Every structure is written in structure tokens, then in C-alpha cells.
Amino acid sequence: MDDGLGPVDSQAAAYVEGFCKALKAKDNASEHTIRAYRSDLGDFLRWAGREKLDPLHVGHRQLRLYLGELDQAQYARTTMNRRLSALKSFYRWLSTCGAIDEDPASVLQGQKQGKALPRKITHPDMMRLLAVYSKRDGEGALRQQSPADMRNLALLEFLYACGARVSEASGLKLANVDFKAGQVKVFGKGSKERIIPLHEIALYSMRGYLDFARPKLLAEKGSEYFFVSTRGNLMTPDAIRKMFKQALELAGLDPTLSPHDMRHTFATDLLEGGADLRSVQEMLGHASLSTTQIYTHLSAARLKQVHAQAHPRA
């Protein structure tokens, strides 16, 4: 098999597809995660093809050679560790399936890297972003909203109001939005269910979209999903990311920001506003409190900045 980037072992490629299907069926991995694993493993298979190695019969030395070449090519540590994670998961799965006798990746260790603080969207920038599709322009003048504008505004308000992941916003069902109680039920990683409260501004935008825009987008189609595309279909994670990028461009903001930074901003704003860590953990759907604690570091950094600016002896 040759995909134009170098020969790929067809048997190994079939196993990669089987592994990706297992990720979906057993681990309920997102399409984004599966796409990343397939891409990373595809890169390894092409490398093995160029080196005339059988991916199903390599040892840890050959895997280290592959990682060493990535290092020489000056790949970022995050990329190298992600590639290693893909290899370890793949070979562990092959071993479990009985496709290989020994797992060559089990002894490999990733490079240590400092934890990068999540990015927070500043309040002025957040207001500019949320104003892109609102009823009023930047100068406060009324403007006509299209059905897509109303949906996009509701989506942005929703993401900032509850810190949902893009996949959770995409999979949000109409039946799981409770306007009376002011809350939503979302299903996160591993289909874990959690209930998150929503504030009035988000509820207002979502209600306006539901009552006036969504029926026009559906055009007499039926859908169980809350957010739908201009053709009345499910609003996919990729479509949400594309909309977000367009909103950034219209707002004149940093194009490298992502919807996940809305989630980071939500968590940081809650902690800086006095919310306790356990409550934020519950709303974000983090399995471990240590994952949520990174936001306390970000808040501490902000406090340190304020201290340096305000204290007379700082």
C-alpha cells in the first residue's frame, strides 16, 4: 500500500483501522481523538516503510530510533509525547488482541515537559467575540440577525456560560436543555453525564435561537439536537470550530484562539470570582481534581501580577 507519502504495510494499516474502531466502540473516543491517533500512527507506518521495517515486528530500539528522528527534526515535545502515546496505546492493543507476542512500546518513556498554563480570553476580547453575532453592533446600533447569526450567538454564549467541550455542544440534545431550571445536561468523555447551570444571558440567547432561528434552519426537518447547521443537520465539532474561527476574524482577535480557550476562560473566571475548586471540577467534568488545579495556578499568576502592580514595595 502506498498513499503517496511512502510505502505503508497493508496488514499494519488494517490493524490501525481496527484499533481506531476499538477506540470508538470500547473507549467512546471522540472523532477528534481518533483522527489524531490515525494521523500519528500513519506517520509511523510511513516511516517504517521507508526504513523497510515491519511495524508488527519491531523492537523498542526501532521505536526509539523513530522518536529520535522526530527529535532531530526539532518536533515539539508535546508532539513527540503525543506520537509516543499513540504508539503505546496501539501496541498495547495489539498485544491484548494477540497480534504481537511482546509490546515493544511498554518500556518507552516520554520527555518531561513543563505544564503550560491554559490561555484565558480577556474580558474585553470576550465581549468583542460575543458581540460579533449579537443584536447590536460594536457601537450599540441595532442590526438584523440571520438565523445563523442567532445560532452562532447562542453557541458562543453557551460555550462561555458552562465551559462545555466542542463535542458536548455538538451532541447537546433538545431534551437536555432545561430552561425552567436554568441548566443543561451534557455527556462528556466516556459518556459521563453532568448537569451544569446556565446564566440568564445565555438562556435568553438560546431561547431566542430555539424559538425563531432553529425552525428556519430545520426547514421542516426533524432533529433531536439543539444546535443545527444551516441545512438542518447536526452541527458537527468541526463546523463549530470553523464558526469560531470566523467569529475571531470578524472580531479582530488572535486567530490562534480556540473554542477550548472559552472553556479555560470559564474555569478561570469562576475561580477568580470565588468558586470552590470542587464545584469547578464538577462543572468541567474532570475526573481528577489535579486536572482542575491548573486553573488555580493561572489565578495565582493573575494575583501576582495585580500584587506587583499595586503594592508600593513590589
Backbone angles phi, psi at 234, to 5 degrees: -55, 135
Hey, which residues are catalytic here? 165, 189, 260, 263, 286, 295
Q: Is the pTM of this model over 0.75?
A: no
- The Cα diameter of the chain in Å comes to 69
pLDDT digit string, tens, across residues 63-117: 999 999 988 888 888 888 899 999 999 999 999 888 998 899 988 876 665 556 6
Q: Which helix (H) or strand (E) holds 85?
A: helix 77-97
The residue with cell 432545561 is: 178
Does the pLDDT value for residue 299 go beyond 70? no
In this prediction, residue 75 carries a pLDDT of: 85
| Cell digits of residue 241 | 470550530
What class has domain 10-97?
mainly alpha
Could you tell me the residue ranges of all domains in the chain? 10-97, 123-309
pLDDT digit string, tens, across residues 252-275: 999 999 999 999 999 989 988 888
User: Which superfamily is assigned to 123-309 in CATH?
Assistant: Intergrase catalytic core (1.10.443.10)
Does the pLDDT value for residue 312 go beyond 80? no
Q: Which helix (H) or strand (E) holds 203?
A: helix 200-208
Distance CA(148)–CA(154), nearest Å, equals 10
In this prediction, residue 43 carries a pLDDT of: 93
What letter represents residue 222's amino acid? G
The one-character DSSP state at 57 is G
Does the pLDDT value for residue 2 go beyond 60? no
More confident residue, 294 or 115: 294
Nearby residues of 189 by Cβ (< 8 Å), 6 or more positions away: 28, 30, 285, 287
